[in-house]
Structure 1
Protein backbone atom coordinates (compact mmCIF):
# COMPACT_ATOMS: atom_id res chain seq x y z
CA UNK A 1 0.00 0.00 0.00
CA UNK A 2 1.29 3.48 -0.87
CA UNK A 3 0.01 6.99 -1.51
CA UNK A 4 -1.08 6.06 -5.04
CA UNK A 5 -3.46 3.42 -3.67
CA UNK A 6 -5.73 6.20 -2.45
CA UNK A 7 -6.12 7.63 -5.96
CA UNK A 8 -6.05 4.40 -8.02
CA UNK A 9 -9.64 3.39 -8.96
CA UNK A 10 -8.46 -0.17 -9.67
CA UNK A 11 -6.89 -0.63 -6.26
CA UNK A 12 -8.56 -2.67 -3.52
CA UNK A 13 -10.76 -0.35 -1.43
CA UNK A 14 -9.44 0.31 2.06
CA UNK A 15 -11.48 -0.90 5.00
CA UNK A 16 -12.32 0.66 8.36
CA UNK A 17 -10.83 -0.51 11.63
CA UNK A 18 -13.51 -2.57 13.37
CA UNK A 19 -12.99 -1.23 16.89
CA UNK A 20 -15.65 0.49 18.95
CA UNK A 21 -14.68 4.19 18.80
CA UNK A 22 -16.56 4.89 22.04
CA UNK A 23 -14.32 2.44 23.89
CA UNK A 24 -11.07 4.10 22.82
CA UNK A 25 -11.85 7.81 22.55
CA UNK A 26 -8.23 8.81 23.00
CA UNK A 27 -7.27 7.45 19.59
CA UNK A 28 -4.43 5.35 18.24
CA UNK A 29 -0.83 5.88 17.20
CA UNK A 30 0.60 4.14 14.14
CA UNK A 31 3.82 2.58 15.42
CA UNK A 32 5.06 0.88 12.30
CA UNK A 33 4.28 -1.21 9.24
CA UNK A 34 5.57 -4.44 7.75
CA UNK A 35 4.49 -6.16 4.52
CA UNK A 36 1.26 -4.19 4.40
CA UNK A 37 0.34 -4.73 8.06
CA UNK A 38 0.07 -1.80 10.47
CA UNK A 39 0.79 -1.83 14.19
CA UNK A 40 -1.57 0.47 16.09
CA UNK A 41 -1.37 1.23 19.81
CA UNK A 42 -4.13 2.93 21.83
CA UNK A 43 -2.74 6.08 23.40
CA UNK A 44 -3.85 4.99 26.86
CA UNK A 45 -1.99 1.70 26.38
CA UNK A 46 -4.67 -0.95 26.93
CA UNK A 47 -4.82 -2.19 23.33
CA UNK A 48 -2.34 -3.11 20.63
CA UNK A 49 -3.78 -3.93 17.22
CA UNK A 50 -2.24 -5.51 14.11
CA UNK A 51 -4.36 -4.41 11.15
CA UNK A 52 -4.41 -5.19 7.44
CA UNK A 53 -6.14 -2.14 5.89
CA UNK A 54 -6.57 -3.89 2.53
CA UNK A 55 -8.41 -6.98 3.77
CA UNK A 56 -9.85 -5.55 6.98
CA UNK A 57 -8.36 -8.38 9.05
CA UNK A 58 -7.15 -7.35 12.48
CA UNK A 59 -5.73 -8.92 15.62
CA UNK A 60 -6.34 -7.16 18.92
CA UNK A 61 -3.85 -7.71 21.73
CA UNK A 62 -5.48 -6.49 24.92
CA UNK A 63 -4.46 -6.16 28.52
CA UNK A 64 -6.27 -8.39 30.99
CA UNK A 65 -9.95 -7.83 30.29
CA UNK A 66 -10.72 -7.42 33.99
CA UNK A 67 -8.36 -4.42 34.06
CA UNK A 68 -9.44 -2.64 30.87
CA UNK A 69 -12.10 -0.37 32.39
CA UNK A 70 -9.81 0.41 35.33
CA UNK A 71 -6.96 1.23 32.96
CA UNK A 72 -9.14 3.55 30.86
CA UNK A 73 -10.52 5.34 33.94
CA UNK A 74 -7.01 5.69 35.34
CA UNK A 75 -5.78 7.23 32.10
CA UNK A 76 -8.65 9.76 32.06
CA UNK A 77 -8.08 10.57 35.75
CA UNK A 78 -4.37 11.19 35.16
CA UNK A 79 -5.09 13.41 32.15
CA UNK A 80 -7.62 15.49 34.11
CA UNK A 81 -5.97 15.75 37.52
CA UNK A 82 -2.31 15.07 36.75
CA UNK A 83 -1.86 12.31 39.30
CA UNK A 84 -2.45 8.60 39.72
CA UNK A 85 -5.80 7.19 40.73
CA UNK A 86 -4.16 4.27 42.53
CA UNK A 87 -3.81 4.73 46.28
CA UNK A 88 -2.58 1.35 47.59
CA UNK A 89 -0.24 -1.53 46.80
CA UNK A 90 -3.04 -3.65 45.37
CA UNK A 91 -2.74 -1.80 42.07
CA UNK A 92 1.02 -1.37 42.11
CA UNK A 93 1.41 -3.16 38.79
CA UNK A 94 -1.18 -0.99 37.06
CA UNK A 95 0.31 2.14 38.61
CA UNK A 96 3.75 1.14 37.32
CA UNK A 97 2.23 0.75 33.86
CA UNK A 98 1.15 4.38 33.84
CA UNK A 99 4.45 5.62 35.27
CA UNK A 100 6.58 4.17 32.51
CA UNK A 101 7.69 4.99 29.00
CA UNK A 102 6.64 2.41 26.45
CA UNK A 103 8.51 1.86 23.20
CA UNK A 104 7.33 -0.60 20.58
CA UNK A 105 8.72 -2.47 17.61
CA UNK A 106 7.04 -4.56 14.92
CA UNK A 107 8.54 -6.91 12.37
CA UNK A 108 8.58 -10.22 10.53
CA UNK A 109 10.40 -13.41 11.56
CA UNK A 110 11.15 -15.16 8.25
CA UNK A 111 12.45 -18.29 9.98
CA UNK A 112 9.08 -18.99 11.59
CA UNK A 113 6.88 -17.09 9.11
CA UNK A 114 5.54 -15.02 11.99
CA UNK A 115 4.92 -11.37 12.85
CA UNK A 116 6.02 -10.18 16.28
CA UNK A 117 5.45 -7.13 18.48
CA UNK A 118 8.08 -6.02 21.00
CA UNK A 119 7.27 -3.69 23.91
CA UNK A 120 9.97 -2.09 26.08
CA UNK A 121 8.84 -0.49 29.35
CA UNK A 122 11.04 1.91 31.32
CA UNK A 123 9.55 2.60 34.75
CA UNK A 124 10.25 5.38 37.23
CA UNK A 125 11.38 2.67 39.64
CA UNK A 126 14.32 2.00 37.27
CA UNK A 127 12.87 -1.44 36.54
CA UNK A 128 13.11 -2.20 32.84
CA UNK A 129 11.05 -4.86 31.15
CA UNK A 130 10.75 -6.07 27.59
CA UNK A 131 7.99 -8.30 26.32
CA UNK A 132 7.15 -9.95 23.02
CA UNK A 133 3.91 -10.98 21.38
CA UNK A 134 3.86 -13.54 18.59
CA UNK A 135 1.04 -13.25 16.04
CA UNK A 136 1.03 -17.01 15.47
CA UNK A 137 0.39 -17.77 19.13
CA UNK A 138 -2.29 -15.08 19.61
CA UNK A 139 -2.22 -15.84 23.32
CA UNK A 140 -0.24 -13.61 25.63
CA UNK A 141 2.89 -11.52 26.07
CA UNK A 142 6.14 -13.26 27.02
CA UNK A 143 8.94 -11.58 28.92
CA UNK A 144 12.31 -11.18 27.18
CA UNK A 145 14.90 -12.08 29.77
CA UNK A 146 18.19 -10.76 28.43
CA UNK A 147 17.01 -7.12 28.24
CA UNK A 148 18.09 -6.80 31.89
CA UNK A 149 21.64 -6.59 30.52
CA UNK A 150 20.89 -3.11 29.13
CA UNK A 151 20.33 -1.26 32.40
CA UNK A 152 23.39 0.85 31.57
CA UNK A 153 21.52 2.45 28.68
CA UNK A 154 18.61 4.83 28.16
CA UNK A 155 16.64 4.57 24.94
CA UNK A 156 15.50 7.69 23.14
CA UNK A 157 11.73 8.17 22.77
CA UNK A 158 11.46 6.69 19.30
CA UNK A 159 9.77 3.42 18.46
CA UNK A 160 11.83 0.67 16.86
CA UNK A 161 12.50 0.33 13.14
CA UNK A 162 12.46 -3.05 11.41
CA UNK A 163 15.19 -4.12 8.98
CA UNK A 164 16.54 -7.52 7.93
CA UNK A 165 14.95 -9.62 10.61
CA UNK A 166 15.58 -7.30 13.56
CA UNK A 167 14.05 -4.25 15.24
CA UNK A 168 16.37 -1.36 16.14
CA UNK A 169 16.24 1.40 18.77
CA UNK A 170 18.73 4.18 19.53
CA UNK A 171 19.99 4.85 23.05
CA UNK A 172 22.86 6.38 24.98
CA UNK A 173 25.21 5.08 27.64
CA UNK A 174 24.52 6.11 31.25
CA UNK A 175 27.52 6.65 33.55
CA UNK A 176 26.78 6.99 37.29
CA UNK A 177 23.22 8.01 36.53
CA UNK A 178 24.21 10.65 33.96
CA UNK A 179 23.50 10.37 30.24
CA UNK A 180 26.62 10.54 28.09
CA UNK A 181 27.14 11.45 24.44
CA UNK A 182 28.03 7.83 23.65
CA UNK A 183 25.13 6.43 21.69
CA UNK A 184 24.43 2.86 20.69
CA UNK A 185 22.01 0.85 18.62
CA UNK A 186 19.97 -1.76 20.46
CA UNK A 187 18.86 -4.54 18.13
CA UNK A 188 16.32 -7.26 18.81
CA UNK A 189 16.68 -10.35 16.61
CA UNK A 190 13.15 -11.60 15.94
CA UNK A 191 14.45 -15.08 15.10
CA UNK A 192 16.42 -15.94 18.26
CA UNK A 193 14.46 -13.36 20.31
CA UNK A 194 17.51 -11.77 21.90
CA UNK A 195 18.78 -8.21 22.28
CA UNK A 196 22.27 -7.11 21.36
CA UNK A 197 24.17 -3.83 21.51
CA UNK A 198 25.76 -2.37 18.38
CA UNK A 199 28.38 0.37 18.49
CA UNK A 200 28.20 3.01 15.74
CA UNK A 201 31.14 3.83 13.44
CA UNK A 202 33.90 5.65 15.32
CA UNK A 203 33.55 8.90 13.37
CA UNK A 204 29.89 9.13 14.43
CA UNK A 205 30.43 8.60 18.13
CA UNK A 206 32.16 10.67 20.82
CA UNK A 207 33.73 7.71 22.57
Structure 2
Protein backbone atom coordinates (compact mmCIF):
# COMPACT_ATOMS: atom_id res chain seq x y z
CA UNK A 1 0.00 0.00 0.00
CA UNK A 2 1.34 3.44 -0.93
CA UNK A 3 1.11 5.76 2.08
CA UNK A 4 2.58 8.91 0.49
CA UNK A 5 4.93 10.11 -2.25
CA UNK A 6 7.42 12.93 -2.61
CA UNK A 7 10.20 13.82 -5.06
CA UNK A 8 9.92 10.51 -6.95
CA UNK A 9 9.99 8.38 -3.77
CA UNK A 10 7.12 6.40 -2.27
CA UNK A 11 6.54 5.35 1.33
CA UNK A 12 5.05 1.85 1.29
CA UNK A 13 3.46 -0.41 3.88
CA UNK A 14 3.81 -4.16 3.36
CA UNK A 15 1.35 -6.74 4.72
CA UNK A 16 3.87 -8.18 7.18
CA UNK A 17 4.01 -4.75 8.86
CA UNK A 18 7.18 -3.29 7.35
CA UNK A 19 7.52 0.23 6.01
CA UNK A 20 9.69 0.71 2.94
CA UNK A 21 10.97 3.79 1.16
CA UNK A 22 10.92 2.88 -2.54
CA UNK A 23 12.39 4.55 -5.61
CA UNK A 24 10.29 3.22 -8.51
CA UNK A 25 12.70 4.55 -11.18
CA UNK A 26 15.60 2.44 -9.84
CA UNK A 27 13.45 -0.22 -8.13
CA UNK A 28 15.58 0.21 -4.98
CA UNK A 29 14.00 0.16 -1.55
CA UNK A 30 15.08 0.64 2.05
CA UNK A 31 13.32 -0.93 5.01
CA UNK A 32 12.59 1.67 7.67
CA UNK A 33 13.11 1.08 11.39
CA UNK A 34 10.07 -0.26 13.20
CA UNK A 35 8.03 2.06 15.37
CA UNK A 36 5.17 1.46 17.75
CA UNK A 37 1.82 2.14 16.17
CA UNK A 38 -1.72 1.32 17.19
CA UNK A 39 -2.82 0.53 13.64
CA UNK A 40 -1.84 1.41 10.09
CA UNK A 41 -5.34 2.77 9.54
CA UNK A 42 -5.10 5.14 12.52
CA UNK A 43 -2.11 7.08 11.17
CA UNK A 44 -1.38 9.64 8.47
CA UNK A 45 2.09 9.86 6.92
CA UNK A 46 4.05 12.59 5.19
CA UNK A 47 7.36 12.44 3.32
CA UNK A 48 9.59 15.42 2.58
CA UNK A 49 13.12 16.70 2.09
CA UNK A 50 14.77 18.99 4.65
CA UNK A 51 17.31 21.12 2.77
CA UNK A 52 18.84 22.45 6.00
CA UNK A 53 19.88 19.00 7.22
CA UNK A 54 20.14 17.57 3.66
CA UNK A 55 17.93 14.64 4.69
CA UNK A 56 14.57 13.12 3.87
CA UNK A 57 12.09 13.01 6.74
CA UNK A 58 8.92 11.05 7.40
CA UNK A 59 6.22 12.38 9.70
CA UNK A 60 3.64 10.05 11.28
CA UNK A 61 0.55 11.51 12.96
CA UNK A 62 -1.43 8.92 14.90
CA UNK A 63 -5.13 9.62 15.41
CA UNK A 64 -5.82 7.27 18.31
CA UNK A 65 -4.30 8.28 21.62
CA UNK A 66 -4.49 6.54 24.96
CA UNK A 67 -4.40 9.53 27.28
CA UNK A 68 -3.08 13.08 26.89
CA UNK A 69 0.02 12.12 24.92
CA UNK A 70 -0.01 12.89 21.19
CA UNK A 71 1.89 10.04 19.55
CA UNK A 72 3.39 11.98 16.63
CA UNK A 73 6.83 10.90 15.44
CA UNK A 74 9.36 11.99 12.85
CA UNK A 75 12.07 9.92 11.21
CA UNK A 76 15.20 11.48 9.76
CA UNK A 77 16.50 8.88 7.31
CA UNK A 78 20.19 9.55 8.04
CA UNK A 79 19.75 8.98 11.78
CA UNK A 80 17.51 5.96 11.22
CA UNK A 81 15.45 6.40 14.38
CA UNK A 82 11.97 7.70 15.16
CA UNK A 83 11.70 10.69 17.49
CA UNK A 84 8.54 11.76 19.34
CA UNK A 85 7.54 15.36 18.78
CA UNK A 86 5.04 17.40 20.78
CA UNK A 87 5.20 20.83 19.17
CA UNK A 88 1.73 20.94 17.62
CA UNK A 89 0.08 24.26 16.88
CA UNK A 90 -2.26 25.52 19.61
CA UNK A 91 -5.64 23.80 19.33
CA UNK A 92 -4.33 21.10 16.97
CA UNK A 93 -6.08 17.76 17.21
CA UNK A 94 -4.81 14.69 15.42
CA UNK A 95 -8.43 13.76 14.57
CA UNK A 96 -8.64 16.67 12.12
CA UNK A 97 -6.44 14.96 9.50
CA UNK A 98 -8.23 12.18 7.60
CA UNK A 99 -6.32 8.88 7.78
CA UNK A 100 -6.72 8.16 4.07
CA UNK A 101 -4.87 11.34 3.02
CA UNK A 102 -1.12 11.90 3.13
CA UNK A 103 0.44 15.09 4.47
CA UNK A 104 1.67 17.67 1.95
CA UNK A 105 5.24 18.95 2.09
CA UNK A 106 5.53 22.52 0.76
CA UNK A 107 8.50 24.91 1.05
CA UNK A 108 10.23 22.78 3.65
CA UNK A 109 7.29 22.14 5.99
CA UNK A 110 4.48 19.60 6.38
Flag whether TM exceeds 0.5 (same fold).
yes
Q: Which has the larger radius of gyration?
A: 1
User: Aligned equivalents of 2:11 and 2:27: distance in 1?
Assistant: 13
Higher helix share: 1
- Structure 1 segments unaligned to the other structure (5+ residues): 1-28, 65-93, 168-207
Which ranges in structure 2 are unaligned for 5 or more consecutive residues? none
What is the root-mean-square deviation in Å for CA atoms of aligned residues? 2.8
SS in structure 1 at match of 2:88? helix
- 1:145 matched to 2:86? The reply is yes
Number of residue pairs the alignment of both structures matches: 107
Structure of greater relative contact order (alpha carbons < 8 Å, 6+ residues apart): 2
TM-score (normalizing by structure 2): 0.76
Residue number in structure 2 paired with 1:130? 72
SS of residue matched to 1:154: helix
Give the alignment's TM-score, normalised by structure 1: 0.44
SS in 1 for 2:32: strand
Q: Where in structure 2 are the equivalents of 1:1-207 lying within 5 Å?
A: 29-42=1-14, 46-63=17-34, 97-98=38-39, 101-123=42-64, 125-126=66-67, 127-138=69-80, 140-147=81-88, 150=91, 152=93, 154-157=95-98, 158-167=101-110
Contact 1:99/1:123 (CA < 8 Å) preserved in 2?
no
